[in-house]
Amino acid sequence: FVTGAVTSPVTGPMVDKLGRKKAALLYCFLEIIINQLEQYPNIYGLIVSRMVGGITTNLLQSVFETWLDTEHRRRGFNDDQYETIMRDTVV
């Protein structure tokens, strides 16, 4: 959580520079790396995976919802559909 808090001011501008789609792919790639690091009995790999996990949490919370919002508006879908999607996808 500390890494997420520290990198949060950097993650937003990075996503704006990369683009939503590339940032989403970066999220997926980093999650694969995290899962691989957690498979080995090495404390340093676990620490690095937790630190990278803070960054991926920021990406998860910002990239996918804004990508959905941008694509929904760009394609001219009905606002009622957007409200339904946002209401039904809340965990």
pLDDT of residue 13 exceeding 70, the answer is: yes
pLDDT tens-digit series, residues 18-57: 888 898 899 999 999 999 988 888 898 888 888 888 888 8
Q: How many residues does the chain have?
A: 91
Residue 77's closest CA among 85, 65, 88?
A: 85
How far apart CA 84 and CA 89 sit, in angstroms, is 8
pLDDT of residue 60 exceeding 90, the answer is: no
Give CA angle at 88 (82, 91), nearest 5°: 125
**Cβ-Cβ contacts under 8 Å for 55 (sequence gap 6 or more):** 3, 4, 7, 11, 30
pTM as predicted: 0.71
